[in-house]
Amino acid sequence: MTVVVPLGGAKPVPATQPQRIGVLLVNLGTPDTADARGVRVYLKEFLSDPRVIEDQGLVWKLILNGIILRVRPAKKARDYQKIWNAERGESPLKTITRSQAEKLAEAIADREHVVIDWAMRYGNPSIRSRIDALAAQGCDRLLVVPLYPQYSGATSATVCDEVFRALADMRAQPTLRVSPPYYDDPDYIEALAVSMSEHLASLPFQPELIVASFHGMPQKYVDKGDPYYVQCVATTESLRQRLGLDASKLLLTFQSRFGNDEWLQPYTDKTIEKLAKDGVKRIAVVTPGFSADCLETLEEIAQENAEIFRHNGGEQFSAIPCLNDSEPGMDVIRQLVLRELQGWI
């Protein structure tokens, strides 16, 4: 090993060794356990983030700690239990995100100096812990990949916030890149179209229309400049063009509203209820804002909204899986990562 002797009699230090590149896939998060306690810990971290709930004043803190964290965890725990991966003792989101990282590592295994890892913005494994682990493996360059096709302050931006907080405590910071949203990336649109077409072809019925349901957000966040709504519209328009469907056959809606504020509309549950009442008997729902199946897709859409549809006169309902760690889904992630690593590899 070459040794560099500094001026002034300081202790010799080893010369810089060839370094490695870390790639960190990040998704939203999940409770560690499917019980009230685990959900309470998760919700407290999530709902205490000013990117998620912008007004973190005294009134909100009283509501959060005095009402929400007392009542909501038990209910949400029951929802998690419906979809929980009992074999691994974890949520499907954690199982899938881990698999995405493992398959990405296999796909670029010929680049030995690239290290792939994964983290959750809320819950475990934490962003900070995985950045520390990558640094310990000699990564002096870091590509962070928020697994959100559409950008929003409450998802992509809060990932960056947490990354920056972790880096702020590091003396030897890695050089940082963050991948951009990929809401209209041709590879992403093609993967969605192929996945949708394959799923629809496997059904014993032909849907009369398809609902594209995205996670909602308060309307006031968009009014203040968040680009999320525009990017959801762009994704939906690109899908319509690729599939040859008009706006009456591929509807855009928003799910998972919370609290009393006005959220982005039309609402998914209200739309599905109205479709059933208007005589629509067969529908499919796709969730293009999620890179991996989770509580919002497996329970809220595939169970709750399916029940809403049938309760109001609908007959056949199908939830189209997210891209997950499928071959088309992994091709999107692989191409995104390789593009963002240009100049480093």
Residues placed in the known binding site for Fe(2+): 215, 296
Place of tokens 């504020």: 261
The span from the CA of 337 to the CA of 342, in Å, is 9
* Whether the Cβ atoms of residue 50 and residue 21 lie closer than 8 Å to each other: no
Q: What is the CA radius of gyration of the chain?
A: 22
Instruction: Spell out the residues 6+ positions from residue 164 whose beta carbon is closer than 8 angstroms to its own.
Output: none
β-pairing, 316-319 vs 282-286, is parallel
Binding residues, as ranges, are 215, 296
Tally helices (H) and strands (E) across the chain: 13, 10
Tell me which amino acid residue 89 is. G
β-pairing, 13-14 vs 3-4, is antiparallel
* Whether the Cβ atoms of residue 296 and residue 213 lie closer than 8 Å to each other: no
